[in-house]
């Protein structure tokens, strides 16, 4: 008998520390992320390369379809504009989509061994982060090639935009993963929403089009602008695209600063809510799976 | 006898059995006036205290609540009433190979599974050779687990579990693994864990084995605790009940 065992306090099992519990199991988190990547690209020649082929094709389709055919390339440096927005959308969609399925997909573990269950959605987020890395590099190189000389505000905005995306994905992922255990409908609804998501932020077109359509002081337009994901896209635009050419910056929407603060507060609240919902429901995971 | 290792106080558990699994089914069942759910009490309020170093056999027929109790102790499920407290690190072997992934190699699975069971990187590295030696899977260590024979898979999974050296070890009906030689090795290893003063809770229908491994026997019957005493008495009760 180890000495520590004799001295250890009597503890209730299955009471994890939530996200803090995840922070204490970083080694396991790393293994789970590696497992996820390994499993996804098993027996594939291109391996991790596939995660770049998909965004590349998506980018090409939008660039030709929206940019050349539908003339959205009136936006200066349209390639940088488009790719900046797509980077946010791709990472967000992947993180939320996989987090939603993460607990159900690990049913075997959830039913047999106690772990901080938050590990599974957090691992999904990390996997999306791994895929994001090289795309981010492409974005920055592209922006520099287009004429961006990295400025401090820009880099901060880029980092904030990505942090905002991660927080949003984590908060939503926690809620959706836990509710999906009870109602598998959730994953289908999530797929639907993710499909239209790219249209609900200024990724493919300039924000002025939406202002013209909805009226720039209408409630709907304010809602559109308050969407935290819209703020994240605009922050990334501010970071990379705005200073790539003279004149880009002036077509950024006004009031980005206050909206960024509001969106960050909202996303932090969302993470807290997600943690609360997840904890409430996680006691039922083992018997529902 | 040392201090308390596992304290189960007033713990009960019921399950709601849903008969309908879709909107269509629930409408049809509602129209037919059939109840859509039943309540099933798996465990009635139960008290049980296990001291450090005790070896306890949980016995009972199928459906008597043994596995549910073990899951509650492991923290996988939360009880409806009461509470379960455990001292020290607990490892539950509720199923051999839970957490093993067929697409990872044996080596990767050892790291993943040992980490899931609560070891950190240094501890796993220190015990790695011992685990591999115990599993005796030879050249297959770096092969994906999906290509293992079922016996090899079980050996590796069991080897990882017993080498996590927990303070409290829960074993659910997993001793019926592998060939005779490996089974003997497993039993010997579990007996050694017990002799080292670790707390052992074993669920098994193998009565002779349980008599050999455990000193205390607890018999459950339809969610009630009916016998708690010497393992020989508990086994006798079950044999008489047939």
Supply the pLDDT for residue B139: 87
Interface check B9 vs A, CB under 8 A? no
Indicate the pTM of the whole model.
Answer: 0.87
Q: Angle of helix A152-182 relative to helix A256-282, nearest 10 degrees?
A: 30
Residue of chain A with shortest Cα separation from B110: A31
Per-residue pLDDT at A89 exceeds 90: yes
Per-residue pLDDT at A6 exceeds 60: no
Per-residue pLDDT at A213 exceeds 50: yes
Q: Angle of helix B121-135 relative to helix B106-116, nearest 10 degrees?
A: 130
Q: Which of A60-64, A162-166, A204-208 has the highest mean predicted lDDT (pLDDT)?
A: A162-166
Burial of A283 (0-12, 13-18, 19+ CB in 10 A): middle
Q: Which of A6-20, A81-95, B44-58 has the highest mean predicted lDDT (pLDDT)?
A: A81-95
SS (H, E, C) B57-68: EEECCCCCCHHH
pLDDT band at B190 (very low <50, low <70, confident <90, very high): confident
Q: Which long-range contacts (CB under 8 A, 24 or more apart) does B141-150 make?
A: B141/B105, B141/B106, B141/B107, B142/B105, B142/B106, B142/B107, B143/B105, B143/B106, B144/B102, B144/B103, B144/B104, B144/B105, B145/B100, B145/B101, B145/B102, B145/B103, B145/B104, B145/B105, B145/B106, B145/B109, B146/B102, B146/B103, B148/B106
Tell me the pLDDT of chain A averaged across its residues: 88
Chain A contacts in chain B segment 127-166 (CB below 8 A): none
- Each domain of chain B, given as residue ranges in start order, spans 1-88+168-242, 95-166
What 3-state DSSP class applies to B227? Answer: strand
DSSP string for residues in A174-218: HHHHHHHHH-THHHHHHHHHHHHHTTTTTTSS-HHHHHHHH-TTS
pLDDT tens-digit readout, B72-113: 888 888 888 888 888 888 877 777 777 788 888 899 999 998
Nearest to A271 by CA among A186, A160, A165, A179: A165
In CATH, the number for domain B1-88+168-242 is: 3.40.50.300
pLDDT tens-digit readout, A123-166: 999 999 999 998 999 999 999 988 888 889 999 999 999 999 99
Supply the pLDDT for residue A1: 41
Helix (H) or strand (E) holding A278: helix A256-282
pLDDT tens-digit readout, B216-232: 888 888 888 888 888 88
Query: Are B104 and A39 in contact (CB < 8 Å)?
Result: yes
Q: Which residue shows structure tokens 């994905």?
A: A169
| Residue A288 tokens, joined | 């529902």
Supply the pLDDT for residue A116: 86
pLDDT tens-digit readout, A13-56: 766 667 888 888 888 899 999 988 888 888 788 888 888 888 88
The answer to whether residues B194 and B209 touch, using CB atoms and an 8 Å cutoff, is no
Mean pLDDT of B150-165: 84
Supply the pLDDT for residue A2: 44
Q: What are the b/e assignments for A146-163, b being 16+ CB within 10 Å?
A: bebeeeeebeebbebbbe
Per-residue pLDDT at A189 exceeds 50: yes
Per-residue pLDDT at A4 exceeds 60: no
Supply the pLDDT for residue B4: 84
Burial of A3 (0-12, 13-18, 19+ CB in 10 A): exposed
pLDDT band at B151 (very low <50, low <70, confident <90, very high): confident
Mean pLDDT of B29-51: 84
First to last CA, chain A: 36
pLDDT tens-digit readout, B115-146: 988 888 999 999 999 998 888 888 888 888 88
Q: What are the b/e assignments for B26-50, b being 16+ CB within 10 Å?
A: eeeeeeeeeeeeeeeebbbbbebeb
Compare CB distances from B15 to A15, A34, A287 and report the shortest one's residue.
A287
Nearest to B4 by CA among A14, A13, A11: A11
What 3-state DSSP class applies to B51? Answer: strand
pLDDT band at B176 (very low <50, low <70, confident <90, very high): low
Q: Which residues of A lie closer than 8 Å to B, measured between beta carbons?
A: 1-2, 4-6, 8-15, 25, 27-28, 31-32, 34-35, 38-39, 42, 108-115, 283, 286-287
| Residue B165 tokens, joined | 């050296």
Which of B69, B88, B196 best probes binding to A when mutated, by most A CB atoms within 10 angstroms? B88
C-alpha B39: how far from its chain's center?
Answer: 25
Compare CB distances from A35 to B78, B86, B101 and report the shortest one's residue.
B101
The answer to whether residues A194 and A165 touch, using CB atoms and an 8 Å cutoff, is no
Supply the pLDDT for residue A14: 65
Query: Are B85 and A11 in contact (CB < 8 Å)?
Result: yes
Chain A contacts in chain B segment 61-80 (CB below 8 A): 71, 73-78
Mean pLDDT of B19-30: 78
Tell me the pLDDT of chain B averaged across its residues: 84
Which of A30, A183, A287 best probes binding to B when mutated, by most B CB atoms within 10 angstroms? A287
Per-residue pLDDT at A3 exceeds 60: no
Supply the pLDDT for residue A192: 94
Using a CB-CB cut-off of 8 Å, the residues of chain B touching A4 are 88
Per-residue pLDDT at A69 exceeds 80: yes
For residues A109 and A16, the model is more confident at A109
Phi/psi at A219 (nearest 5 deg)?
-60, -40
pLDDT tens-digit readout, A216-245: 889 999 999 999 999 999 999 999 888 888
What 3-state DSSP class applies to B7? Answer: strand
Query: Are B98 and A283 in contact (CB < 8 Å)?
Result: no
Using a CB-CB cut-off of 8 Å, the residues of chain A touching B98 are 108-109, 111-113
Which residues are B39's β-sheet partners?
B16
For residues A7 and A152, the model is more confident at A152
Per-residue pLDDT at B175 exceeds 90: no
Which residues are B172's β-sheet partners?
B203
Which of A9, A25, A114 best probes binding to B when mutated, by most B CB atoms within 10 angstroms? A114
Q: Radius of gyration over alpha carbons of chain B, in Å?
A: 20
């Amino acid at each position: 008998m180890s000495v520590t065992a004799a001295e250890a306090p009597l503890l209730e099992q299955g009471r994890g520390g939530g996200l803090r519990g995840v922070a204490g199991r970083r080694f396991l988190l790393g293994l789970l992320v590696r497992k996820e990547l390994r499993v996804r690209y098993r027996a594939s020649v291109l391996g991790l390369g596939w995660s770049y082929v998909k965004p590349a094709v998506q980018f090409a389709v939008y660039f030709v379809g929206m940019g050349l055919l539908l003339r959205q390339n009136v936006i200066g440096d349209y390639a940088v504009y488009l790719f900046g927005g797509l980077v946010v959308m791709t990472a967000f969609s992947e993180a939320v989509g996989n987090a939603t399925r993460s607990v159900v997909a690990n049913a075997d573990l959830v039913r047999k061994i106690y772990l901080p269950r938050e590990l599974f959605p957090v691992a999904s987020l990390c996997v999306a982060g791994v895929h994001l890395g090289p795309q981010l590099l492409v974005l920055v190189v592209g922006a520099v090639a287009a004429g961006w000389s990295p400025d401090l505000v820009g880099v901060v905005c880029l980092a904030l935009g990505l942090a905002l995306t991660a927080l949003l994905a984590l908060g939503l992922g926690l809620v959706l993963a836990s509710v999906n255990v009870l109602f598998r409908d959730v994953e289908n609804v999530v797929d639907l929403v993710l499909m239209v998501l790219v249209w609900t932020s200024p990724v493919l077109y300039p924000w002025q089009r939406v202002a013209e359509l909805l009226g720039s002081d209408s409630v709907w337009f304010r809602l559109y602008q308050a969407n935290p994901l819209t703020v994240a896209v605009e922050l990334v635009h501010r970071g990379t695209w705005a200073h790539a050419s003279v004149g880009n910056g002036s077509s950024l929407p006004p009031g980005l600063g206050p909206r960024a603060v509001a969106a960050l507060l909202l996303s932090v609240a969302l993470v807290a809510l997600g943690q609360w919902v997840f904890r409430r429901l996680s006691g039922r995971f083992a018997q529902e799976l | 006898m040392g201090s308390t290792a596992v304290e189960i106080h007033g713990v009960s558990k019921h399950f709601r059995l849903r008969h309908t699994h879709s909107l269509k089914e629930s409408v049809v069942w509602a129209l037919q006036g059939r109840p859509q759910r039943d309540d099933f009490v798996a465990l009635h309020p139960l008290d049980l205290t296990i001291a450090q170093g005790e070896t306890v056999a949980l016995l009972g027929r199928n459906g008597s609540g043994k596995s549910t109790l073990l899951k509650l102790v492991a923290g996988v499920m939360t009880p409806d009433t009461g509470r379960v407290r455990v001292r020290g690190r607990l490892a539950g072997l509720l199923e051999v190979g839970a957490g093993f992934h067929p697409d990872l190699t044996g080596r990767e699975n050892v790291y993943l599974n040992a980490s899931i069971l609560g070891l950190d990187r240094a501890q796993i590295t220190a015990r790695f050779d011992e685990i591999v030696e115990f599993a005796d899977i030879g050249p297959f260590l770096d092969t994906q687990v999906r290509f293992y024979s079922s016996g090899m898979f079980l050996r590796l999974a069991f080897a990882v579990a017993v080498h996590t050296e927990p303070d409290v070890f829960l074993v659910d009906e997993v001793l019926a693994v592998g060939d005779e030689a490996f089974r003997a090795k497993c039993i010997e290893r579990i007996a050694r864990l017990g002799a080292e003063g670790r707390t052992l809770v074993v669920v098994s229908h193998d009565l002779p084995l349980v008599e050999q491994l455990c000193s205390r026997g607890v018999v459950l019957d339809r969610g009630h605790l009916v016998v708690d005493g010497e393992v020989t008495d508990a086994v006798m009760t079950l044999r008489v009940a047939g």
